Amino acid sequence: MALTARALSYAYHKGGALAVDDFSADFAQGKITAVMGPNGCGKTTLSKLLVGILKPLCGEVTLNGMALPGLTLAETGRRIGLVMQQPGRQLFTTSVTEEIAFGLNCLALGQEETDGRVAKYLAYFGLQKYADRFPFELSIGEQQRLVIASVIAMQPAYLILDEPTSALDRGRKDDLRTLLRSLSADEDVGVLLISHDERFVSCCADSVIAMEKGRIL
């Protein structure tokens, strides 16, 4: 079972430079794969192609053998969780609790299950004392933890995290690493970790893909 990219290419402007260029890789379930590379090499673009926010110029993405274009974003989101790069641009509810519950309600989980998961992830990410706060009032690191919590709470089979540690302190990074390791080992989640944080990657990822100018090095 894997999330597979086959010969993906993408350009933001017709005839312009390719942001992702002939990219092929398998992201297996139960494994943590890191993607590293310099600024502007196309990591964020790749993540958006993998969930179908952007449509590739050529090539295709398959999820467990099924082509992605057949799915709506909502259906993809249940299988692949995406934590985007800028925490402040992914929050859209009026309280921290609601933010985590949003996806769970969309999955139509029962009240008990929803409350249980909300409490669990609030606690894990140290957000209990902000439970009723307006997400936009949190610090950037707190927002980042909230976004990660909201996506992971949906328990998708794959997780794509775009620079999830950019605003986290060392203790929070350790927490995230422990969580990702246990998700991949115990729940068979496939994790794609986009990061510049070499220390984090080296103690977290099973394998590393190096990217440059949209290609695999």
Residues at the interface with ligand ATP (CB under 6 A): 12, 19, 37, 39-45, 85
Burial class, 143, CB count within 10 angstroms (exposed 0-12 / middle 13-18 / buried 19+) = buried
Burial class, 40, CB count within 10 angstroms (exposed 0-12 / middle 13-18 / buried 19+) = exposed
Give the residue closest to ligand ATP by C-beta: 44
From 73, 203, 210, 217, residue interacting with another protein (rule: CB under 8 A): 73
With CB cut-offs between 5 and 8 Å by kind, which of ligand ATP, Mg ion, another protein, none does residue 39 bind?
ligand ATP
From the list 66, 95, 40, the residue with the least C-alpha distance to 158 is: 66
* Residues 43-62 as x/- pattern, contact with another protein by CB under 8 A: --------x-x---------
Stretch that binds Mg ion, among 66-74, 81-89, 171-179, 184-192 (CB under 5 A): 81-89
Most distant CA pair in the chain, distance: 52
With CB cut-offs between 5 and 8 Å by kind, which of another protein, ligand ATP, Mg ion, none does residue 12 bind?
ligand ATP
Distances (CA, A) of 163 to 7, 63, 124, 201: 24, 23, 19, 11
Nearer to Mg ion, 85 or 93 (CB): 85
